[in-house]
Structure 1
Amino acid sequence: MSYEMIALLMFSSLMLMLMTGQRVFGAVGAVASLAAILLWGTGGSDIPYASVMKLMKWYPLLTLPMFIFMGYVLSESKIADDLYRMFHVWMGSINGGLAIGTIGLMVLVSAMNGLSVAGMAIGATIALPELLRRGYDKRMVTGVVQAGSSLGILVPPSVVLVLYAMIARQPVGQLWLAGIMPGLLMAAMFIAYIAIRCALQPDLGPALKKEERQVPLTEKLRLLRAGLLPIVIFAVMMVPFVSGWTSLVESSAIGAMAAFFAAVLKRRMTRTVFENSVRQTLAISCMFMWIILAALGFGAVFDGLGAVKAIDSLFTEQLGLNPWIVLILMQLSFLIMGTFLDDTAMLVIVAPLYVPLVTVLGFDLVWYGVLYTITTQIAYMTPPFGYNLFLMRAMAPPEIELKDIYASILPFVCIMALALALVMAFPQLSLWLPETVYGQ
């Protein structure tokens, strides 16, 4: 059997198991393990072991439980309720106002963690239940949370951009600054889509009734102060990191402790709240690690088959094409590889070829780093095998099915593709800020 047929069989088996309702990590891991054993015999057992070691050595992963704990503390202590109450009081007259506020929250969350999976965890634990409870359409809100979490690897401090900077030998500071305007552009486009869609279809994001919006000014100001508490927590966490006093992992610990002490000061940190937060943090962290572990094993089998190298060769060989066509083909290769590889694996595998090729084609490596992050995040949310899709399926309530998750993300993927096209067509959207700051 050819390698192409083996790859096709693996994908079809995976999708069949997922459609039967099997757990995500079980389906992905089972297909990867079975394929490894059938292809390489007992030697295939090294693949799961190598995946475990890779996962355990991924130091930034330590931020995951910290931010999940922070999210659950804010949720269980009802501090998140204050935030969403503030959005409803101040934006209650707008259809989709809470969903718009969620995008704003996710921008802050993205700036807090720098990882898409951690942003997904906080969004799914804080935003999703609140949106569903207030009557928002399940497909709309599922897409909002996934799209908002996509900003995690673009808005600084982005862990992925740090890795790219190491491989491409580019300044981390310039890459972080280059990601700010495209990240805010995508957030603005998400907000515009939600506002327009909910204005045309009010049932997707219902506004508060008039009598519910009649809140005294003193109450509005009280809710504003309470709703700004997460911003204070963000500042307490980020100022030491931006100043260079702490690492990302240390800052995540500061954020978790800040959320804990905020709940204590508001007299909401009961034993029940603490126990529920710790239990759910452990459960979600372990779930994430199992999914990532299974996906790493699945990607390792594909790499062993030579499938990744075949895709790499197909889209990057010099075919005498226009440099822009070659660049577009490179981005398309990321989209295809992203269906079965994470962003780190894609970068490590193809960067030795792509980075020199970008230089030969005459493009800016800082600008290309932004293109890479946007493209890989689109791939994260593209069926059939997108990390964010499966993570959302694992965390979503039972009424949200896999077909709902797939349908929810399509409009936001189109918006991200448009943002990618804009950054490609107008490089100064990403280069203006670093050139201005570092030029001085």
Structure 2
Amino acid sequence: MSYELIALLMFSSMMLLLLTGKRVFGAIGFVAAAAALALWGEGGSEMAFSAAMKLMKWYPLLTLPMFVFMGYMLSESRIADDLYRMFHVWMGPLHGGLAIGTILLMVVISAMNGLSVAGMAIGATIALPELLRRGYDKIMVTGVIQAGSTLGILIPPSVVLVLYGMIARQPVGQLWLAGVFPGLLMATLFILYVVIRCRLQPRLGPPLDSVERAQITWGERFRLLRAGLVPLFIFLAMTGLFLMGYTSLVESSAVGALAATLAALFQGRLTRHVLEETLRKTLGITCMFMWIILAALCFGAVFDGLGAVKAIEGLFVQQMGLSPWQILVLMQMSFIIMGMFLDDTAMLVIVAPLYVPLVGALGFDLVWYGVLYTITCQMAYMTPPFGYNLFLMRAMAPPEVTLGDIYRSVGPFVVIMIITLAVVMIFPQIALWLPQWHYGVGS
């Protein structure tokens, strides 16, 4: 049996196991281990051990539990609720102001947690009922929350970029900084869409009525501003120390986790229940990602040994005669198609052994490609029929928001994501300027 056929058999076996509903790391790890033992006998058993040691020695991985802990601490202690109330009061007088405030809330939650699930949970349970109660169009605001929550995997500290960095062997610090401007660009386009839509159709986003505005005193507004700015100060202190060179990436994550805990303590919200829930959820997310990275490293090692990457490169470049940019576009299209059926981690682990080395061989920057992959994952989260965020929203939304409403809500925001992806592809420096400036690396 040729190595190409073995690689194809591995890929198809993995897809078949994933379709059975088995856990991602179990399906990928099993295929990798079985192929290694079949190809190299007892020597193949060393691959899993080697991958485990590589994972345990990867120092930047310590940022993962720290940042996840920080996000859940701010969420469980309800400090994030203060943030939404602040946006609610200050942005409410504008047409569509509460929807704009919700997007800003999602940006801050993204900068605190790094997961789309946290933003979705806060948006669906806090913002959505309030928006619906105030007469906002349910289709528009459902799309706002779904799109805003996806910013968590692009704006640092992104957990998905940690996973990509580990598999692609790229610096996590550079990947996080590369996601800043594309993430802010996308958030700005979301806000512009809401502003223009509500100006053309004011009924979609009515402002707070004059009676309610009059009941909110300036003292109350400034009190909410002070309370809502606590998470912002935590994030700015953490990133500021890192960007100024006073702390390393891991140390800045520890600063964020400690600052969030102290904020909850000083506000009298650090209860036993809050601490237990934060630790439990942090442990669950961290362990899940460590297992996925371990399985991906094993799978990638087998693929490298087979020479599958060279075979794919020869097929695209030599036999089909495609240019590097045509190959890159095909890769992104395949991510969107897979995203209709798989989540982001499954997609990355499945194709990373093929795509990442091929992208490097074609002469593209792997940090830049990490941003492209993440933006495509954001689209995949919201693409029917099986977009991850679609079903999360259905589970959390009030009964009046139907699955049909949820499906219709995502169209404009997916278009905005496609525009952002195209802009970042055409102008790579949008993603690469900040890491190059901070780290002093060449283009």
TM-score (norm 2): 0.69
**Are the equivalent residues in 2 in contact too, given 1:99–1:144 (CA < 8 A)?**
no
| 2:421 corresponds to 1:420 | yes
**Are the equivalent residues in 2 in contact too, given 1:111–1:152 (CA < 8 A)?**
yes
Classify 1:135/1:186 alpha carbon distance in 2 versus 1 (closer, same or farther; 3 Å): closer
Structure 1 window deviating more from structure 2 (197-206 vs 103-112): it is 197-206
Q: Secondary structure at the match of 1:245?
A: coil
**Are the equivalent residues in 2 in contact too, given 1:154–1:179 (CA < 8 A)?**
no
Structure 1 counterpart of 2:116, from 115, 120, 124: 120
Paired residue for 1:268? Answer: 269
Classify 1:235/1:396 alpha carbon distance in 2 versus 1 (closer, same or farther; 3 Å): farther
Classify 1:430/1:36 alpha carbon distance in 2 versus 1 (closer, same or farther; 3 Å): closer
**Are the equivalent residues in 2 in contact too, given 1:68–1:121 (CA < 8 A)?**
no
Equivalence map 1:2-401=2 (5 Å): 4=8, 7-8=11-12, 10-11=14-15, 14-15=18-19, 17-18=20-21, 26-29=22-25, 31-32=27-28, 56-94=56-94, 96-111=96-111, 118-120=114-116, 122-124=118-120, 126-136=122-132, 137=138, 139-140=142-143, 142-152=145-155, 179-196=179-196, 208-214=208-214, 215-269=216-270, 273-287=271-285, 289-290=287-288, 293-294=291-292, 297=295, 304=302, 309=309, 313-317=314-318, 319-322=320-323, 324-329=325-330, 331-332=332-333, 341=346, 350-358=355-363, 365=365, 369-379=367-377, 381-382=379-380, 397=395
Shift of 1:33: 6.2
Consecutive unaligned residues in structure 1, runs of 5 or more: 19-25, 360-364
TM-score (norm 1): 0.69
Matched AA of 1:243: M
Shift of 1:60: 3.4
Matched AA of 1:219: E
Whole-Å separation in 2 of the counterparts to 1:323 and 1:80: 44
Classify 1:36/1:380 alpha carbon distance in 2 versus 1 (closer, same or farther; 3 Å): farther
Shift of 1:84: 0.8
Q: How many residues align?
A: 412
Whole-Å separation in 2 of the counterparts to 1:369 and 1:150: 15
Shift of 1:333: 6.0
Deviation string for 1:193-223 (max 9, x for gaps)?
3445566788987754553333122211221
% identical aligned pairs = 41
Matched AA of 2:15: F
Whole-Å separation in 1 of the counterparts to 2:9 and 2:353: 26
Whole-Å separation in 2 of the counterparts to 1:288 and 1:403: 34
Classify 1:293/1:257 alpha carbon distance in 2 versus 1 (closer, same or farther; 3 Å): same
Paired residue for 1:362? Answer: none
Whole-Å separation in 1 of the counterparts to 2:351 and 2:85: 41
Whole-Å separation in 1 of the counterparts to 2:394 and 2:279: 15
Paired residue for 1:21? Answer: none
Classify 1:112/1:93 alpha carbon distance in 2 versus 1 (closer, same or farther; 3 Å): same
Structure 1 window deviating more from structure 2 (146-155 vs 219-228): it is 146-155
Shift of 1:139: 4.3
Shift of 1:88: 0.8
Whole-Å separation in 2 of the counterparts to 1:385 and 1:36: 29
Deviation string for 1:264-294 (max 9, x for gaps)?
333333xxx3432332332353145336625
**Are the equivalent residues in 1 in contact too, given 2:146–2:393 (CA < 8 A)?**
no
**Are the equivalent residues in 1 in contact too, given 2:107–2:151 (CA < 8 A)?**
yes
Whole-Å separation in 1 of the counterparts to 2:227 and 2:382: 41
**Are the equivalent residues in 2 in contact too, given 1:14–1:28 (CA < 8 A)?**
yes
Shift of 1:343: 5.1
**Are the equivalent residues in 2 in contact too, given 1:96–1:206 (CA < 8 A)?**
yes
Classify 1:102/1:160 alpha carbon distance in 2 versus 1 (closer, same or farther; 3 Å): farther
Shift of 1:111: 4.9
Whole-Å separation in 2 of the counterparts to 1:63 and 1:436: 22
**Are the equivalent residues in 2 in contact too, given 1:97–1:205 (CA < 8 A)?**
yes
Shift of 1:129: 2.3
**Are the equivalent residues in 2 in contact too, given 1:64–1:285 (CA < 8 A)?**
no
